[in-house]
């Protein structure tokens, strides 16, 4: 119970600090917007090719944006050694991870939902009929990115060359999420939309496996 | 403040800490009685901060254990029942003083948290600035918030790592008064300090660390004053 209540308190702190500064959301939204717009210039939006490639480009943009967004996740806790204060205050260190990954998932999801209409217009792909299913794919993909990214952010924050280390570790590890999310999104954006249970199931399993690993070993990632 | 309990307040048992091949601490065994105010002295790199962070269970020792009075066994995965004040303030600059204290109070499950936070802010003389972001505070005021955070849950053991760093003489005098009140109320304190000051005058015992080992202990016959003045010696 203290795990959930501690995580809830910390989640509130994450939201308060982000909505006060708007640092992460603003930079992430602007970054994804730029990438999506630039991608749209390189393809003919009316061609069927764009329908094939756009989901992959969209998820690549989300992935790069996430690697930017996740960088300060634990780095910010080092400024005043607040991570030590948190470790002294919570009975289960997983609460720290739970709060951060929930906040990261939410921020990523907000970015994705803001980008969806822009993507739809620029690539000329109607999404109205599959929004519900797309939100599910976005949520599962974002959760996978956040779980692995939050864990790796804790590791990279204590390392030298931390700015390079996170993307180098994160991007290869998230290849399965990229493939599954892209395939599931592409199937939904097809002229004959399909709900690919196999890829969506794969995303759910990935999330559960990495969440369990973080719960079991997360404590060691926070040690000095 | 919690009532003193019989037996040592903190027991360090054969603590070793190695970073690669470098020993930060070597076979440190130490018992600190309840209510003692112990000053750790020693040159930079002598192991003072490492010992304090091991006591706070922020750093895992390579071998050895730390136990607190009232604890059965030593579980390094449990948060240490201590208040900890370090060089860094350990509070969020982008939250107000009140928001910081409410945050940590809720995490520590402090009862009647709003009243306790108001009491702490008043006691530390920052109630009027409770709604201001910590980043707008002077170093002295930040340190007051840091001490309020460390004392929120009324710990019986307080660990302080050079708490006077960066403070002006007025803030050091305030800190000395606050720590004296805590010492007189029975709080066990272990702090690292550089040189003699109003704060070191509170010490009931002093220990000098040298290259990670205990080089002198006033409880074992060494002069408390000579240990405290060690850092001032060129």
A87 with B79: Cβ contact below 8 A: yes
Q: Is residue B14 part of a domain?
A: no
What pLDDT sits at residue B4? 41
Q: Does pLDDT of B6 surpass 70?
A: no
Q: Measured in Å, how far apart are chain B's first and last C-alpha atoms? A: 39
Q: Is residue B111 part of a domain?
A: yes
Residue B148 in contact with residue B84, Cβ under 8 Å?
no
Q: Is residue B229 part of a domain?
A: no
Using alpha carbons, select from A216, A199, A57 the residue that is nearest to residue A147. Answer: A216
**Is residue A1 less than 8 Å (CB to CB) from chain B?**
no
Segment B18-66, tens digit of pLDDT = 998 899 999 999 999 998 999 999 888 899 999 999 999 999 999 999 9
**Is residue A90 less than 8 Å (CB to CB) from chain B?**
yes
Q: Is residue B106 part of a domain?
A: yes
What pLDDT sits at residue B7? 58
**Is residue A69 less than 8 Å (CB to CB) from chain B?**
no
Nearest residue of B to residue A19 by CA position? Answer: B94
Segment A142-201, tens digit of pLDDT = 999 999 999 999 998 888 787 788 889 999 999 999 999 999 999 999 888 899 999 999
SS3 A195: coil
Q: Which residues of B are less than 8 Å from A223 in CB distance?
A: 59-60
Q: Does pLDDT of B3 surpass 50?
A: no
Of B57, B90, B107, which has the smallest distance from its Cβ to A9's Cβ? Answer: B107
Number of domain units in chain A: 1
Q: Which residues of A are less than 8 Å from B90 in CB distance?
A: 80-82, 84-85
Q: Does pLDDT of B144 surpass 70?
A: yes
Give me the domain span that covers residue A194. 3-221
Give me the domain span that covers residue B107. 93-154
What is the ipTM score, two decimals?
A: 0.87
Q: Does pLDDT of B2 surpass 50?
A: no
**Is residue B94 less than 8 Å (CB to CB) from chain A?**
yes
Q: Is residue B100 part of a domain?
A: yes
Segment B76-134, tens digit of pLDDT = 666 778 899 998 999 999 999 999 999 999 999 999 999 999 998 988 888 899 999 99
Burial string for B70-102 (b: 16+ CB within 10 Å, else e) reads: eeeeeeeeebbbbbbbbebbbbbbbbbbbbbbb
């Amino acid at each position: 119970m203290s795990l959930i209540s501690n995580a809830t308190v910390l989640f509130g702190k994450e939201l308060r600090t982000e909505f006060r500064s708007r640092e992460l959301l603003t930079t992430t939204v602007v970054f994804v917007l730029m990438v999506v717009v630039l991608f749209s210039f390189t393809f003919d939006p009316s061609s069927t090719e764009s329908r094939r490639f756009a989901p992959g480009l969209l998820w690549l943009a989300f992935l790069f944006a996430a690697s930017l967004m996740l960088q300060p996740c634990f780095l910010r806790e080092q400024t005043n050694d607040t991570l030590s204060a948190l470790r002294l205050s919570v009975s289960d260190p997983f609460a720290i991870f739970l709060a951060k990954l929930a906040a990261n998932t939410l921020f990523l999801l907000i970015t994705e939902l803001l980008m969806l209409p822009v993507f739809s217009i620029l690539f000329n792909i109607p999404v109205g009929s599959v929004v519900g299913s797309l939100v599910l794919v976005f949520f599962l993909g974002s959760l996978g990115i956040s779980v692995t990214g939050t864990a790796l952010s804790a590791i990279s924050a204590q390392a030298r060359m931390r700015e390079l280390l996170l993307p180098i570790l994160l991007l290869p590890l998230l290849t399965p999420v990229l493939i599954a999310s892209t395939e599931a999104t592409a199937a939904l954006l097809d002229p004959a939309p399909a709900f690919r249970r196999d890829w969506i199931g794969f995303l759910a399993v990935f999330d559960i496996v990495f969440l369990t690993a973080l719960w079991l070993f997360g404590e060691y990632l926070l040690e000095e | 403040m919690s009532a003193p309990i019989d037996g040592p307040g903190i027991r360090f048992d054969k603590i070793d800490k190695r970073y690669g091949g470098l020993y930060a601490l070597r076979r440190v065994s130490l018992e600190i009685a309840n209510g003692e105010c112990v000053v750790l002295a020693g040159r930079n790199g002598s192991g003072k901060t490492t010992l304090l962070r091991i006591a706070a269970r922020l750093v895992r020792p390579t071998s050895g254990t730390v136990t607190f009075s009232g604890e059965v066994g030593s579980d390094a995965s449990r948060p240490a029942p201590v208040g900890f004040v370090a060089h860094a303030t350990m509070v969020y600059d982008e939250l107000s003083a009140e928001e910081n204290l409410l945050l940590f109070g809720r995490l520590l499950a402090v009862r009647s948290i709003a009243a306790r936070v108001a009491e702490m802010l008043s006691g530390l003389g920052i109630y009027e600035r409770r709604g201001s972001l910590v980043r707008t505070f002077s170093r002295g005021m930040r340190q007051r918030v840091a001490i309020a955070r460390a004392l929120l849950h009324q710990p019986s053991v307080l660990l302080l790592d050079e708490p006077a760093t960066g403070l002006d003489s007025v803030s050091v005098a305030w800190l000395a008064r606050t720590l004296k009140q805590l010492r007189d109320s029975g709080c066990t304190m272990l702090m690292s300090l550089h040189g003699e000051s109003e704060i070191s005058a509170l010490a009931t015992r002093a220990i000098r660390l040298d290259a990670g080992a205990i080089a002198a202990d006033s409880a074992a016959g060494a002069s408390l004053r000579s240990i405290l003045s060690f850092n001032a010696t060129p």
